[in-house]
Structure 1
Amino acid sequence: MSLYQVAIIVGSLRKDSFNRQLADAIVKLAPPELSFKQIEIGDLPLYNQDDDGAQAPQVLRLKTEIADAQALLFITPEYNRSIPGVLKNAIDHGSRPYGQSVWGGKPGAVLGVSVGAIGTAMAQQHLRNVLAYLDVPLLGQPEMFIHAKDGLFDENGNIGEASLGFFQAWMQRYVEWVKQHAIHA
């Protein structure tokens, strides 16, 4: 039985992105106390404060799904040394109108994978800055700056054997973080 609902927010819209593959693979390492749901962000309109009084159905759906979760997992690519606009747009929608953010207090983690040698280090740092302002307590260690290389995923889309121990240790630490910080309604 799942005790903790985790909302996964993938910052890439591309169907076969490394980050979406990572989101699909990493959840397989979690114990049954955690259940995961990838949150759709590609259908959100661009944030406009004029719409705060009459938010679009997609925005209300996003906010409900985040509100229903006890924890957050952000998986982001790096675009031009920062986070993708679609991810920032989703975060902005979830934080507005001012004073009605659905993000605050939910334990979270940030990770990402890239073909670059430093993974998504810059994007993750920018995302951490944004989430700190929104009062999301983030797992600090171990950091996950993942370099996409042969063997990262096996032929079935699972984490490859060479990286499996690292990812299992990360998941164990993430589970501890969620249990320590999640608030049950």
Structure 2
Amino acid sequence: MSVRILALVGSLRSGSHNRQLAEAAVALAPEGVEVEIYEGLADVPFYNEDIDVEGSVPAAALDFRAAAERSDAFLLFSPEYNGTMPAVLKNAIDWYSRPMGSGAFVGKPVAAIGTAYGQYGGVWAQDATRKAVGIAGGTVLEDVKLSIPGSVVRFGEVHPKDDPEVAEKLPVVLRQIADATAQPAQA
């Protein structure tokens, strides 16, 4: 049986390098690991407790939560917007944090990686993502990191799956996440 990793991409932009990095994760997944990119983040409304009640939860949010139920782990791809994660990724974390104490992240490994134009590859955004996911109850894999700088130039003509560093390091990240699913969740 394969380990199912749900990929959430924090950029909705057509041609996003983080989206391409997620596509590379699908293509480079090692044997026994399946990566699914969640396609509906743009449709999930901003989190609001008034609509997060039985009978009122929007269909897009229900679909989003159902995708989490089918997954064993999560891999979040975060670009860096003004020094932190984008709103779409924070909104995803907010939806998965509920119900409090038993949301979608609880008991499942979560890693945050990404690429950005700057010289550090978006590490601030990835750190903020890890912090938010940890507060939301996820088992954050603090040692699983991949920050790729210079995305605009580096991936201007080369898809990340064809980049030697990505091809070497991304399967290692995926294997680390898959191996963490076999570990008991930390309280």
Distance 1:156 1:84 in 2: 22
- Partner of residue 79, structure 2: 77
Change (3 A) 1:153 1:142: farther
Change (3 A) 1:162 1:8: closer
Q: Which one is further off, 153-162 or 8-17? A: 153-162
Q: Summarize deviations over 1:75-120 as a string: whole Å, max 9, x none.
A: 0111111111111112112222434411111111110100100111
2:163 is the alignment partner of 1:164: no
Q: Secondary structure at the match of 2:13?
A: coil
2:111 is the alignment partner of 1:109: yes
Q: Summarize deviations over 1:62-81 as a string: whole Å, max 9, x none.
A: 01111111111100111111
The answer to whether the 8 Å contact 1:83/1:126 transfers is: yes
- Partner of residue 145, structure 1: 147
Q: How do 1:47-86 and structure 2 match up within 5 A?
A: 47-53=47-53, 54-86=56-88
Q: Secondary structure at the match of 1:124?
A: helix
Change (3 A) 1:177 1:58: same
Distance 1:37 1:162 in 2: 22
Distance 2:27 2:69 in 1: 23
Distance 2:101 2:171 in 1: 37
TM-score (norm 2): 0.85
Q: Secondary structure at the match of 1:108?
A: strand
Matched pairs, number? 181
Which AA in structure 1 matches 2:26? V
Tell me the CA shift for residue 171 of structure 1. Answer: 3.4
Q: Which one is further off, 170-179 or 129-138? A: 170-179
- Partner of residue 180, structure 1: 183
- Partner of residue 23, structure 2: 24
Q: Secondary structure at the match of 1:25?
A: helix
Point out 4+ residue stretches in structure 1 off by more than 4 angstroms. 149-157
Q: Secondary structure at the match of 2:111?
A: strand
Runs of at least 5 residues in structure 1 that lack an aligned partner in the other structure = none
Change (3 A) 1:38 1:127: same
Distance 1:173 1:154 in 2: 29
